[in-house]
Amino acid sequence: MIQLIQSMNFFAGRLAAKIPALCLLARFAFAAVLLVYCWASGLSKLGEGLLGVFHPSAGAYVQIFSKQMEAFGYDHSHFGLFHYLVVLMGVLAEFLIPLMIVIGLLTRYAALGMIFFIVVQTATDLFGHGVLEDPTTLGKWFDRSSSSVIMDQRLLWLFVLVYLVKHGGGVLSLDQWLTSRKV
């Protein structure tokens, strides 16, 4: 049995070494699953006008600081610079980090940033939106259902991102193009 496992590990290692496009596939999977999701979420937070990114909507504050917005009667003018910067960084992150991953620019750093973003998003969902009290949304691992939004989906998201942190952007990435140029 041990010899069979060793043979399979050897085969899998050789196969992975011969398929440099796995990083490209990981970036494709990210784009297919999360790019539009992130951009749609970012668009919902934009304020009016051409520079709406710098004037987030009240909905942006509601999505990120839901309990505080409720306490303030949904008037975001009570928030200070800290809250504005958190919302602004969240909005910018929802547009820029996914784009960087898809085009393979600073892929490892972008994937780390997206991991951090997902951790913050999950904490906001759990504690800010009360998902801890809804077991169907929270879900659990090793059950029959693979449809929970928090435990199941985000584990798979993180797996792809951790792979990109470890291996980088791979073929057809700006990282590869930039490092292959002669200085």
CA separation for the pair 180, 43 (Å, rounded): 35
Question: What does pLDDT average to over the chain?
Answer: 84
Q: How many CB atoms lie within 10 A of CB 1?
A: 5
Q: List CB contacts of 100: < 8 A, sequence separation 6 or more.
A: 106, 107, 109, 110
Q: Is the pLDDT of residue 180 over 70?
A: yes
pTM above 0.85, yes or no: no
Mean pLDDT value across residues 12-28: 76
Q: If we measure between CA atoms, which residue out of 81, 109, 85 comes closest to residue 97?
A: 109
CA separation for the pair 68, 86 (Å, rounded): 14
Q: Is the pLDDT of residue 179 over 70?
A: yes
CB 111 within 8 A of CB 161: yes
CA separation for the pair 113, 98 (Å, rounded): 10
String of b and e for 64-77 (b: at least 16 CB within 10 Å)?
bbbeebeeeeeebe
Mean pLDDT value across residues 7-36: 80
Which contacts qualify for 51-56: CB closer than 8 Å, 24 or more apart? 53/88, 53/91, 53/92, 53/95, 54/88, 56/84, 56/87, 56/88, 56/91
Instruction: Please write the tens of the pLDDT for every residue from 92-135.
Output: 999 999 999 999 999 999 999 999 999 988 888 888 777 777 77
